[in-house]
Structure formats: structure tokens, C-alpha cells
Structure 1
Amino acid sequence: MERTPSTPRDERPRNETEHERLDRQLMELLQGYRVAVTGVQVLFAFLLTVPFAVGFREVDDTGRVLYYVALFGAALASICFIAPVTQHRILFRLGQKPLLIRRANRFGICGALALALSITAATTLIVDTLLPDAAAAATAAIVASLCGWAWFVQPLLSRRAALAARSADPDPDEHRGDPGEGPDGQVTGGSGAASRETAPKRDDR
């Protein structure tokens, strides 16, 4: 007898209510932010001490521009990564978790862009003070390319492939990896989860 291949574990719909799904998505976002914020804090603290170093007086105009870009990028990344936490506190128990998740996702992308800019500028500044201009330019290109590929290009390609596979699936709801998130990042319903009307209501914690 021919056996029908079972659905992979990571493609099976999660058996969770809407509230449970929202809690999980928000916690996953905030957990990822903890990793990013640690790196931003270290970089930001380093940049704040640079102007007080004795050798900073020898930095030329190009180096000062690079420092300003790095400092502004680190500050902007800090704002973006901290914003979802403060908004969650302000909107506490108001039933706004779907809105918070969408905002947190956008803040995360903006924060990653700012952090990539800051890392590139800071690295280029340091190399520019030690090596010739050509080495600094090559360093900037390499760091920017690595950040762009690892943080944006590769996941965007995977997203495009996943959306193409989903559109080709005659029954996408049956093999959806995460039924709680639509293609546009908005929270949606899915099989195995209670609808908004039937899901048990409780405080938004």
C-alpha cells in the first residue's frame, strides 16, 4: 500500500487560539530585540566615548562625517528597538497586540537598517585612521554587503520563494507554517486557531 507523505512538522498549523498566537508572536519579536539591543548598546557606548579620546583631534573631515553617521545610526537603532517595549507598556491591557506586533515588525526593520549603517560607518572610520583610503573604501563595501545580504536580501529572497510556493498551493491554509501572520505582516486567522469572535476573551497582558 502506498503511504501518503505526512505534512512536515514545521508546516503543520499551530493548534493555538488567537490570543496565544499574539502572545507568541510578540514574545518572539521582543526576544529578538534583546539580542539586537545588546549590540546597539555596546556600539553606542563606544561611539559616545570617541570624541573624548586624544587621537580624535587628528580625524579629518571625512572621518568626522563617518563618526556622525555612525553615532546617528546607533541612536536611531536604539530608538527603533526600544519603541515596541515602551508602546507595549503605554497600550497595556487595551487589546492592541495586533497593532503592536505590526509596529514592532516595522520598527525592527528600520532599526536593522540604522544599525547596518552605523556598523558600516564605524568600521570604515576605524580602518580609515589606520590604513589608506582604498582599504577603508573596501572595508565599507564589504561590511555593507554582508549586512545587506544577511539581514535583508537573503530573507527577502526566501520570502519571495515562500509566497510563490503558497500561491501555487491549491490549499494554502492546510500547509501554512505560521497561520497567524499574513504576507503583509498583518495578524490573520488560520486553521487550528479560534476565530476572533469565538476566541476566549481575556486581559491583554
Structure 2
Amino acid sequence: MVTPNQQPIRVGVMGTHSTGKTMLLKRIEMELRAHGVPVTRTGRIGRRAAHIGLPKMQKHTEASTEWVIAQGIADELAAAAQLDPGPAQVVLADRAALDALSYFHAAQEWRTEHPNRLERERLRLLAFTQAPKYDLLLATVLDTAVQVEPKHDYDARYRILVDQHTHRILAEDALSHQRVTSDPDSQARAVERALEICLKENEV
């Protein structure tokens, strides 16, 4: 039985835009609910940032990146607090804290700006405080052959840069994670892995 003081299981996802992050977590959520597991999912953080006037995508700044990281942390804590003590508690983080670093570094490269070393390190430390909290970290892989809906009007180069920085951050710090491609089998394996961890850790 999970006690009130025990931390919930956290599954985070990161990756460039329109690579199936949200849909992947929705699948995991549906499967967990089918097993009777109390679960909650964070999300829409980019939309909320834009709503209060913060720059996004290739316009990301130190301030907007810090807000996204801090708000993501707050969202995960709030989600965990809303879960009732029971045989299972799971928080699905749509955009793990490290995701914001990928978008920021890609934005700086896209704008050909020279990074402020101290600011980048400060943001890195803030994001990496959350890394140990994820029981499973999923990283989507960009497949440029998969078409994106025209309404999104994404900058193709920036989208590729975010993907590159995502996997560079994970590789440089040797962070344990599972890559998820556009292949249905890869996505199925990610869902299965999440279920394995969540159901095992929450056995009564």
C-alpha cells in the first residue's frame, strides 16, 4: 500500500514538437486507468506560456525557459498532491523539465546567438534537479518523413534542432531513457515499459 509520504511514480516525455509526445502519454494513461491505477497527466505548458505573453519556439529566451521549467515542476508537484493515497499513484509529465533546455538551446542555435555560459548553466542546474525524479524518461525521435499538419506552420530547421539537442542532452549526461520512434512497435514497447514500471512498483 502506498503511504501519503511516498512519492508517486513519474513518467516524463521529451522531444521535438509533433512527434507524438502527448498521444503517447494518453495511451499510457488509458492503459493505466484500465488497470484501475490512479493517474494524472500534466500538459499544455507551452500554450499557457504563450497566453501570458512569453516567447516560444525559436524565440525562446532565458526567462521563458526558466518559466517553463519552474511551471513544469509546479505542475508535477500539484498533480502528485491531488492523487489520493492508494495502491497506485502515477504522474505523467507531458514535457519533462529537461525538454525546456532542448528548445532553448535550439532557439539560440537557430538565431546563431552566442550562449551566456552562466545563464545556460543556471537553467541546466534547475532542470537537472528533476532528472532523478523520473522513474521512466521517454524521448521521441523525429521522423521527417511523417508529415505535419499545415496549420502548425513549424519552422523545419528549428524542429530538427530541437530533436538534435534533445538527444544530445540525454547522451552527454548518460541519462537513462527510452527512445521512441514513429514506428508503432517502438511506441508499443514504450507503453509496455511504462505499464511494467507502474504496475510493478504499485503492487499491493
* TM, length-normalised to structure 2: 0.31
The structure with more radius of gyration = 1
* TM, length-normalised to structure 1: 0.31
- Structure with bigger helix share is 1
